[in-house]
Amino acid sequence: MNAMCLAASAQKPVLIQKDNPHPKPLQGEVLVRVYAAGVTPTELAWYPTSHRKNGDQRTGAVPSHEFSGEIAEIRGGVAGFPIGQAIYGMNDWFADGALAEYCVTQPDWIARKPRRLSHAKAGSVPIGALTAWQGLFDRAKFQAGTRDTRLADPDFVVGSGAWRHLHRSRKASKGMITITTKPLSPTLRHWP
């Protein structure tokens, strides 16, 4: 299986193409045929990229943990996702990611891909959506009809890109109003 892996010998994080073993889902897991994967530039330096859950060093990691694709295989105990179903979602940050032909994930970490979204667009949604959700509802405890008095203007959210759009849509879905910023120049839209 083709995969982009972190080179073990490079001074700086570098991705190389490798022929990796085809991943095998365990009981209760889903194998995804990846059509698109979102890449976070700083991910190559994150702890889960270079370490296992138990703290041991890890080499040759496959990055990118948000993806879009279709269900290729299901192992017992998974319901609601037939083989061939178009999905998008995330997988375990300590597992090999989605910069490969296939990746393994949990059924609770995926959803049916909206028909109106291409695989490329759907593959860029999960981490931004999770960040927006956690920021608004887990951390700030926003609820419809209430105001957060800890902030000067609780309906003002600063952000840009996917995060800005997701905050706006999440707050709107809960009956809230938000104002967000956008980049001042086109150069701010590109990674350094």
Q: Which residue has the higher pLDDT, 109 or 157?
A: 109
Residue 175 is predicted with a pLDDT of 53
pTM of the model as a whole: 0.75
Residue 64: per-residue pLDDT: 93
DSSP one-letter string for 86-134:
EEEEE--TTS--SSBSEEEE-GGGEEEPPTTS-HHHHTTSHHHHHHHHI
pLDDT digits (tens, 9 = 90+) for 8-17: 766 778 889 9
Calpha distance 166→105 (Å, rounded): 23
Q: What is the DSSP letter of 138?
A: I
Q: Where in the chain is the domain with CATH 3.90.180.10?
A: 2-122
Architecture (CATH level 2) of domain 2-122? Alpha-Beta Complex (3.90)
Encode pLDDT of 98-132 as tens digits. 999 999 999 999 999 999 999 999 998 888 777 77
- pLDDT above 70 for 37: yes
pLDDT of res. 9: 66
Please give the Cα distance from 47 to 53 (Å, whole number).
10
pLDDT of residue 36: 96
Q: Output the average pLDDT for the chain.
A: 79
